Structure 1
Amino acid sequence: MHLISAPTNLGLRPPEPGAVPGTAKAPEALREAGLYTRLSSLGAVDKGVVLPGRYVDAAVPPGRVRNQEAIVDHTKRTADRVGAALREGVPCLVLGGDCSVLLGVGLALARAGAGEYGLVHIDGHTDFRGPHNSDAYGAVAGEDLAVVTGRHLDELSNIEERGPYFDVRRTVHVGHRDDDEHAEQLRDLLAHVISSRTVVAEGAATVGDRIAAHFAQSSAGYWLHIDLDVLDPKLMPAVDSPDPGGLDAGALTELLAALARDAVGASVCIFDPDLDPSGHLAHLVSDIVVAGLADLGLSH
């Protein structure tokens, strides 16, 4: 496994005027919590950092998103790093940062085999906001699924004319709350749309096996994208948009373990160390990642 740090906060709105989100600190907070050491003991190799551009807290003009040029640049450089792992046939774990890192992953997979790879998008929100359904778009971390499936600005969804990065028929979303405003739109598009309540009701391992079976006919595999706001905020408050409900740590770990072997890589996003002054939540994230993703990519 290759470990790639992508400490970006470019896709998030400021938590308050003049401030910047803390997600860019996540990879180093997880390193301090022992995650890199624990994964290295399992054979993982640290492949360095994709540094983001400068975050600018400024008004976003119509037809653009916050930090647009910096996000496009970071997307291309993240794609280069992920692409190197794909060429070597090595699964990689991208530690964000906010969910805009999914653009770089998608671009890398589109370069490697347009339309061949699937996506399992595990998130407490559908992240499907974009110009096609909202006038309030502008922060890519809450719009990443719309971008990578081609439902957003062409400047983001079609970098290098390789969009959409994921075919909607090969995309699965898991983990939204029942009141998500875009869930019904997704049901008409994606292969599967599964709420957090359904995961709890059916069992995380059962849902994971069902998703893996959907992709069983594909030799290319799929990418696992994990936004930690899929967890119940009573357990994980250190995210930018905590919503009531969600999974507990055991359910998320079971879900990931059921999906990890057949994945070509994974990204873990939205942990904000600024909201974890004691550091104990970083240890929780590390436990979930190690237990849930220890077998990442082993079937490939």
Structure 2
Amino acid sequence: MIALVSAPTNLGLRPPQTGAVPGTHKAPEALREAGLHERLARTGARDAGVVLPGRYVDDDATRGPGHVRNERAIVAHSRLLADRLDAVWDAGDAPLVIGGDCSLLVGAGLALSRRGRVGLVHVDGHTDFRHPGNSDECASVAGEDLAAAVGLHWDAIADVDGYRPYFSPDRTAHVGHRDDDEGAEEARRLLGLVVSSADALAEPPARLAQRVQAVVGRGYWLQVDVDVLDPEVMPAVDSPDPGGFPVDGLVALLDRLAPAALGASVTVFDPDLDPEGLYARTVAEVIVRGLGRLGTALGRPA
């Protein structure tokens, strides 16, 4: 059974302007309003509650070197989310985490590494591979989450409670970045599989899913950032870039990946950029059609 976990965090994003806060924390309720929870409930899914984050602070003027923005709050939220995921798995269900920004991958990774590492499938319009070893501009975990997940970040983010790396690089697959992504070359050298959006769209979804699963193994975490969609169909994200997936193409890939996943997270939809609720319905459609069979090919989680 799918267990819906709301994780309304915006802690890993840069402020849209000085003194303002990103709108991703509104996404879980916007998606509820768009009918997501009701539609999944008809298939047997349950609501597993909300993991609330700390207050977002624009700390650019006070944050010291070697720290990301909202660092303490991200770590605290990661631990809370990890505990909630543990409870969902203990109940025999598959967690579907509705974010929020993709800093929540730290919490998912922490939960899984406590149980023994599994593979990671990272479906995102960016590699999110910025880290202190390749950039002097590290600050926002939502643009650095994949690097942190495989251990390439400051200890406070990449080694929470001594669990670095949350996912082994050779069992990590990334799909969906654009051809001009700055982290793609390094990611290709270090990760088990890296596929651009252009290459993914040129390949049948079934074959691409097979290639991904050959790298990550059976039972993995599936992280989906909705900016992998083309901005023509999904402009309500902080960094829309042309050349992304159409809705049906993403659904086709996710529907093949979801059954063998231990859980999934969906991130970076910003309702502040969707005042009429049109794109919330698009995200809900992707989740219901693409992730509705989450975990069905697996037995009771360990």
TM-score tier, shorter chain, comes to: over 0.9
Superimposed CA distance per residue, residues 210-252 of structure 1 (whole angstroms, 9 cap, x where no aligned partner):
2124344x4xx10100000001011100001111111000110
Looking at structure 2, the residues matched to 213 and 89 of structure 1 have their Cα atoms a distance apart, in angstroms, of 25
Contact kept? 2:48, 2:88, Cα under 8 Å: no
Deviation at 1:203, TM superposition (A): 2.6
Query: Which amino acid counterpart does residue 119 of structure 1 have in structure 2?
Result: L
1:231 and 2:234 are equivalent in the alignment: no
> Structure 2 matches for 1:144-163, cutoff 5 A?
144-163=145-164
Q: Which residue of 1 aligns with 2:16?
A: 15
Unaligned runs of 5+ in 2: none
Superimposed CA distance per residue, residues 158-203 of structure 1 (whole angstroms, 9 cap, x where no aligned partner):
1111111000011000000011111110111111100000111113
1:102 and 2:100 are equivalent in the alignment: no
Q: Which residue of 1 aligns with 2:246?
A: 248
Deviation at 1:290, TM superposition (A): 0.3
- The percentage of counterpart residues that share the same residue type is 58
> Structure 2 matches for 1:144-183, cutoff 5 A?
144-183=145-184
DSSP 3-state at the match of 2:202: helix
Looking at structure 1, the residues matched to 170 and 81 of structure 2 have their Cα atoms a distance apart, in angstroms, of 25
Contact kept? 2:121, 2:216, Cα under 8 Å: no
Unaligned runs of 5+ in 1: none
Contact kept? 1:10, 1:98, Cα under 8 Å: yes
Q: Which residue of 1 aligns with 2:95?
A: 92
Contact kept? 1:98, 1:141, Cα under 8 Å: yes
Deviation at 1:88, TM superposition (A): 2.8
Looking at structure 2, the residues matched to 29 and 153 of structure 1 have their Cα atoms a distance apart, in angstroms, of 33
Looking at structure 1, the residues matched to 271 and 264 of structure 2 have their Cα atoms a distance apart, in angstroms, of 20
Q: Which residue of 1 aligns with 2:67?
A: 64
Query: Which amino acid counterpart does residue 177 of structure 1 have in structure 2?
Result: R
Query: Which amino acid counterpart does residue 54 of structure 2 have in structure 1?
Result: G
Change (3 A) 1:96 1:201: same
Superimposed CA distance per residue, residues 21-48 of structure 1 (whole angstroms, 9 cap, x where no aligned partner):
0000000000000000001111111010
Query: Which amino acid counterpart does residue 267 of structure 1 have in structure 2?
Result: S
Looking at structure 2, the residues matched to 64 and 145 of structure 1 have their Cα atoms a distance apart, in angstroms, of 17
Looking at structure 2, the residues matched to 36 and 21 of structure 1 have their Cα atoms a distance apart, in angstroms, of 23
Superimposed CA distance per residue, residues 120-146 of structure 1 (whole angstroms, 9 cap, x where no aligned partner):
000000001011110011100000001
TM-score, normalization by structure 2: 0.96
Deviates more, 1:201-210 or 1:94-103: 201-210
Q: Which residue of 1 aligns with 2:267?
A: 269
Deviation at 1:85, TM superposition (A): 1.6
DSSP 3-state at the match of 1:94: strand
Deviation at 1:86, TM superposition (A): 2.1
Looking at structure 1, the residues matched to 156 and 92 of structure 2 have their Cα atoms a distance apart, in angstroms, of 29
Instruction: Tell me the C-alpha RMSD between the 2 structures.
Output: 1.0
Query: Which amino acid counterpart does residue 16 of structure 2 have in structure 1?
Result: P
Deviation at 1:112, TM superposition (A): 1.1
Deviation at 1:84, TM superposition (A): 1.3
Deviation at 1:205, TM superposition (A): 3.1
Query: Which amino acid counterpart does residue 24 of structure 1 have in structure 2?
Result: H
DSSP 3-state at the match of 1:226: strand
Looking at structure 2, the residues matched to 295 and 106 of structure 1 have their Cα atoms a distance apart, in angstroms, of 21
Superimposed CA distance per residue, residues 63-114 of structure 1 (whole angstroms, 9 cap, x where no aligned partner):
100000000000000000011122233111000000001000000001111x
Deviation at 1:153, TM superposition (A): 0.6
Looking at structure 2, the residues matched to 68 and 3 of structure 1 have their Cα atoms a distance apart, in angstroms, of 26
Looking at structure 1, the residues matched to 257 and 213 of structure 2 have their Cα atoms a distance apart, in angstroms, of 6
1:42 and 2:38 are equivalent in the alignment: no
Looking at structure 2, the residues matched to 70 and 77 of structure 1 have their Cα atoms a distance apart, in angstroms, of 11
- Of 272, 281, 284, which residue of structure 2 is paired with 1:283? 281
Contact kept? 2:127, 2:183, Cα under 8 Å: yes
Looking at structure 2, the residues matched to 110 and 86 of structure 1 have their Cα atoms a distance apart, in angstroms, of 13
